[in-house]
Structure 1
Amino acid sequence: MNEHLARGWDEAAAGYEQYFVPRFRPWVETAVAQLGDLPSGPILVPCCGTFPELDLLLERFPDREIVGIDLSAGMVRLARERAAGHDQVSVVEGDAATLDPRWLRACSAVVSVFGLQQLPAPEQAIDSWYDALLPGGRLSVVYWPSVTEADGPFSLMRELLRPGPADPDPDLAAVLGEAVDEPVAFPITYADAGSFFEAYAHSGPMRATAIARGEAFVEELRERFLERAPEGEWTHHPAARLITATGR
């Protein structure tokens, strides 16, 4: 399963960086803004993707060790390009679902944006990330829940790919004990429904499915999507979840 997911993101990496990273910037800014004053120690970014958090982290914590982790070799390559010239920054190709024991109670912060929902056991992952914090360290995680909006391209795509009621989301904040879990919504605009579909299918989270099911499936899905999508520019306001907690 992990290899299949990694291949999808390997192929999607460049397009994701170009198309989705700028649109997801407000959520990245929100996640980094939650960190406040941190104890001494490295900052860990599991599921870092192309590492859009890095520039903001370097602005606030220029002298900290910052480590990104991602399963996709394609994402890691772009993340390392972003980190070039910063000796205190490194990017590890690996599974962020369960952190290496060397991170146990060693980090001043753990930040992750839009990676948690892709992991097979998000409760275990966020528990592992929380256990990496030093006392007073900060966890800041943004992820997409199963339902992000009542109407929009994300909801239409989910309906076409997985008809019926969405699976209930696990109570991830409860896993951590004292944590804050709140919705965070921002507008995203696409030139039209066709450009969104192309990006979502080939440079986004549907890429692994497209590889597995083939281009004929993608084309049939595209036709169904465009039949129900509005014409012209499309703006929606999807709500992610933001979980924050302080290490004990």
Structure 2
Amino acid sequence: MHALPQALPEGPVLVPCCGTFPELDVLTGQLPGREIVGIDLSAGMAARARNRAAGNPLVPALEGATLERDELLSFPMVHPDADTFFTAHTRSGPMRPLADARGEEFIAVLREEFLRRAPEGEWRHRPSARHIVARA
């Protein structure tokens, strides 16, 4: 949340799983004048976000969304070795926030320990994600 891309496309900024909307102040500060749309599948969390954003004309009410698709997707992934797996996870995967927060020096130490303990050979896994489409 501390490093937004330099050039965002035009249009509203979507905040999925907005819940308590902790991003609101940072987004409105760094993107003045941009509409910010928070969505959450939990009615209770959407209500909390709505309360948090009350009075902000750039944040529309979070009501009336219709769920059009909700499915679990999974695809096999193969990495030729542990180093490639680690790089993928720390540069563009689930460990990217840790790398951003702790820095390259920390990640270098972590990489060294990971590779020391990792088995050799090809790495296969099948991550899954929830694909949700909602229309307001």
Equivalent residue for 2:5? 72
Instruction: Give the direction of change, closer, same or farther, for the CA distance of 1:241–1:226 in structure 2 (3 Å limit).
Output: same
Partner deviation per Cα, 1:37-94 (whole Å, 9 max, x = no partner): xxxxxxxxxxxxxxxxxxxxxxxxxxxxxxxxxx312xx48xxxxxxxxxxxxx23x9
Match of 1:173 among 30, 41, 50: 41
Query: 1:184 corresponds to which letter in structure 2?
Result: L
**Which residue of 2 is the match for residue 182 of structure 1?**
71
- State the match for 2:88 in structure 1: 199
Distance 1:203 1:72 in 2: 14
SS of the residue corresponding to residue 231 of structure 1 reads coil
Pairwise CA distance, 1:178 = 4.6
Is 1:237 the counterpart of 2:126? The answer is: yes
Q: Which amino acid in 2 is paired with 1:128?
A: V
Instruction: Label 1:213 to 1:245 Cα distance change in 2 as closer, same or farther (>3 A).
Output: closer
Structure 2 match to 1:96? 13
What's the secondary structure of 1:128's corresponding residue?
strand
The two structures have a TM-score, normalised by structure 1, of 0.32
Q: CA deviation at 1:193?
A: 1.4
Q: Aligned to 1:244, what secondary structure does the other structure show? A: strand
Corresponding position of 2:49: none
TM-aligned CA deviation for residue 191 of structure 1: 1.5
Q: Secondary structure of 2:124's partner? A: strand
SS at match of 2:37: helix
Instruction: Give the Cα separation in 2 of the matches to 1:236 and 1:173.
Output: 28
Contact 1:189 1:235 in 2 (8 A): yes
Question: Which residue does 2:110 correspond to in 1?
Answer: 221
- Percent identity for Structure 1 against Structure 2: 41
The number of residue pairs the alignment matches comes to 102
Residues 146-196 of structure 1: CA distance to partner in whole angstroms, max 9, x if unpaired? xxxxxxxxxxxxxxxxxxxxxxxxxx4344765243211111111211012
The DSSP-based 3-state class of the residue aligned with 2:78 is strand
Aligned pair 1:128/2:37, yes or no? yes
Q: How well do the aligned residues superpose, as a CA RMSD in angstroms?
A: 3.7
Q: Whose radius of gyration is greater, 1 or 2? A: 2
Segments of structure 2 that go 5 or more residues without pairing to the other structure are 24-35, 44-63
Q: Which residue of 1 aligns with 2:28?
A: none
**Residues 181 and 242, structure 1, Cα contact 8 Å, conserved in 2:** yes
Measured at CA, do residues 188 and 211 of structure 1 come closer, stay the same or move farther in structure 2, by a change above 3 Å? same
CA distance in 2, matches of 1:122, 1:227: 40
Would the alpha carbon gap of residues 230 and 212 (structure 1) be closer, same or farther in structure 2, given more than 3 Å must change? same
Letter in 2 for 1:233: E
More helix by share: 1
Residue 122 of structure 1: how far off its partner (Å): 5.7
